[in-house]
Amino acid sequence: MSAEPRINDRIRVPEVRLVGPSGEQVGIVPLAKALELAQEYDLDLVEVAATARPPVCKLMDYGKFKYESAMKAREARKNQAHTVIKEMKLRPKIDPHDYDTKKGHVVRFLKQGDKVKITIMFRGREQSRPELGYRLLQRLANDVEDLGFIESNPKQDGRNMIMVLGPHKKKTEAMAEAREAQAVRKADAKANPGRSQNAVDEELDEAPAETVAEAPAEAPAEAPAEA
């Protein structure tokens, strides 16, 4: 069945409880009188409570009402927060440079309000040293504890060890901060047209970018150098 309300001549009842265009209560009137008033105001008669006895109808511009409702729904979807799970893969003998690079990605994901799945990949004889992976995961969790927390403790999964970090900051907060930082940059650029964008960005903390809702995304696995 259609979710669209009945309007004008599609309303088939002898009388209705009428609400005026400004929300005022007109009272119970014959359907013919309600349709006459709708024509007089150049509006539509819209059934807003079909199960009431008698049904409640309102005088309104139905086309405008539908457009405004669609815009509100679109804005709500735009501002809706979606938590995305990112994945970062490391080797138990990762060298310091690769570790710092991957930690930087984890920091960025947590700032964006996303969860991060950390996977330690064991190969060959490394499988007999699970404590190496555990210590690495604990080290990473400690390094980013101001941004995230251990949501799922390290656990062995075949040849891998997995831990999930959750962000302290909610996705909605991260998105709001990103928009605020962008507005500040635009305002500063207008006030100081001669300054470079890099100079402006250096004065602001790195702000997370908004992400589009998507299926849990995985960062491509890299082959870090063996220690």
Give the residue, 141 or 157, on which the prediction is more confident: 141
Both structure tokens of 73 = 């729904």
Please tell me the distance from the alpha carbon of residue 68 to that of residue 57, in angstroms, as a whole number.
19
**Do 213 and 82 meet the contact criterion of CB atoms below 8 Å apart?**
yes
Tell me, what DSSP letter sits at residue 203?
T
- Name the band, by pLDDT with cuts 50, 70 and 90, for residue 49: very high
- pLDDT computed for residue 1 by the predictor: 42
CA distances in angstroms from 95 to 123, 140, 142, listed in the order given: 16, 14, 18
Q: Write the single-letter amino acid at 202.
A: E
- Name the band, by pLDDT with cuts 50, 70 and 90, for residue 186: confident
- pLDDT computed for residue 197 by the predictor: 52
- Name the band, by pLDDT with cuts 50, 70 and 90, for residue 73: confident
Mean pLDDT of 176-189: 76
Mean pLDDT of 31-41: 93
Please tell me the distance from the alpha carbon of residue 48 to that of residue 59, in angstroms, as a whole number.
10
Both structure tokens of 29 = 């009137």
| pLDDT of residue 136 exceeding 90 | yes
Both structure tokens of 54 = 């008698």
Q: Which residues in 121-159 are b (16+ Cβ under 10 Å) and which e?
A: bbeeebeeeeebbbebbeebbeebeebbebeeebeeeee
Please tell me the distance from the alpha carbon of residue 27 to that of residue 212, in angstroms, as a whole number.
48
In angstroms, how far is the first alpha carbon of the chain from the final one?
Answer: 66
Residue 57, CB half-sphere, CA atoms under 13 Å: how many? Answer: 31
* pLDDT, tens digit, 9 for 90 and up, residues 74-108: 887 776 656 678 999 999 999 999 999 999 999 99
